[in-house]
Amino acid sequence: MKIALVSFDFGEYCVRLASGIAQGANILLFLPKPEAEPYMYLLSKSVELRTFHKPRLRQPLQQLQLMTHLAEQIKDFHPDVIHLQQGHLWFNFALPLLRRYPLVVTSHDPVTHAGEKTPQRIFDWGCYRANQIIVHVPQMKELVFKRLHTPNGRVHVIAHVLCGDDSVQPHVQEEEHVVLFFGRISEYKGLEYLIRAEPLITAQVPQARILIAGTGEDFNHYRRMMTNPERFTIYDEYVSDEKRAELFRRASVVVLPYVEATQSGVIPVAYSFGKPVVATTVGGLPAQVDDGKTGYLVPPRDERALADAVVRLLCNRDLRRQLGANGKRKVTAECSPEIVARNTLAVYQLAAGCQFGNHQ
């Protein structure tokens, strides 16, 4: 099969997925240059990569020129299937130019979250046009089915491909009592509840420190919430792969205090580094965290429950090691690029009208 994989974000995810798919298909990957460059060392030589400059959404002339250019390149490639990641305002408008080709859309976030500015209908448009839709957890399949009235047979659950490389920064060792919050800072991530939990955590584990790494909202809003600012280390910046590896290696536990969620790409990264996770029971997170086996699940907006789960792990090194090892086995079994690629190829065959074996 010939696959045109198109994305405007998700650089590491797309490079790893395309490299897996290249073992069973001819794949042409379109990515913005800044998304692709940090991960070129991961890209299979069998993948043909074409990078582009991504204009701002409010640059209509540049956007129209780019979308026309991408559509022409896709037509020249004449794919059996186009695979679009999440959707994009301007590329969605170009989809009618490509209607002769079957379309698969991976909906990483089927609903926009609190604090997000992109209108929901922008993402919905691509899903409405798709022949097949991929989501990462079962809860999101049900959500797409209910919201968009998409037939169940057109929505497929395929795990988020394994990201993170535990061969990077191997000399960095775990530091006792380090709690890591990692990722883009946004209202729905519930960071305020981790900040509120800090006095409860340090009352029982005085040595505990909280690392926060990622960009997004103005961080001064969160600084003002801190009872003990000296307990926090803040990296309000873009985090390179090397820095990410360092942070996850240093961490004792990774925390996701989200108040909303579809799924999380942070959880597979934590597992790849053998770290237990404390997450909330929102969206698809319970499908990613096996409570008591790979981490703990707590109610959202409950800083005391969050603190209790974190303290339980900080105070028991053997428990941390066991849950981290369980997470490592889970992510290897479910999220390796080879497994995700095999399941994705089955969806491509469906979209192209081919016959294939059973697919869950």
- Residue 115: the pLDDT is 57
| Highest-scoring range by mean pLDDT, 110-124, 140-154, 300-314 | 300-314
What span, in angstroms and rounded, lies between the C-alpha atoms of 204 and 15? 43
Fold classified for 2-161+337-351: Rossmann fold (3.40.50)
The sign of the torsion formed by the CA atoms of 185, 165, 265, 132 equals positive
The residue type of 38 is P
pLDDT digits over 265-313, tens only? 999 999 999 999 999 999 999 999 999 999 999 999 999 999 999 999 9
Q: How far is CA 262 from CA 48, 110, 139, 162, 342, in A?
A: 31, 7, 8, 17, 23
Give the mean pLDDT of 104-130. 75
Domains 2-161+337-351 and 178-334 share a fold: yes
The answer to whether 16 touches 95, Cβ cutoff 8 Å, is: no
Mean pLDDT of the chain: 92
Q: How far is CA 269 from CA 84, 132, 200, 237, 350, in A?
A: 23, 27, 27, 19, 30
Domain ranges of the chain: 2-161+337-351, 178-334
Which architecture does CATH list for 178-334?
Answer: 3-Layer(aba) Sandwich (3.40)
The residue type of 182 is F
The answer to whether 136 touches 160, Cβ cutoff 8 Å, is: yes
pLDDT digits over 221-258, tens only? 999 999 999 999 999 998 988 999 999 999 999 999 99
The answer to whether 341 touches 347, Cβ cutoff 8 Å, is: no
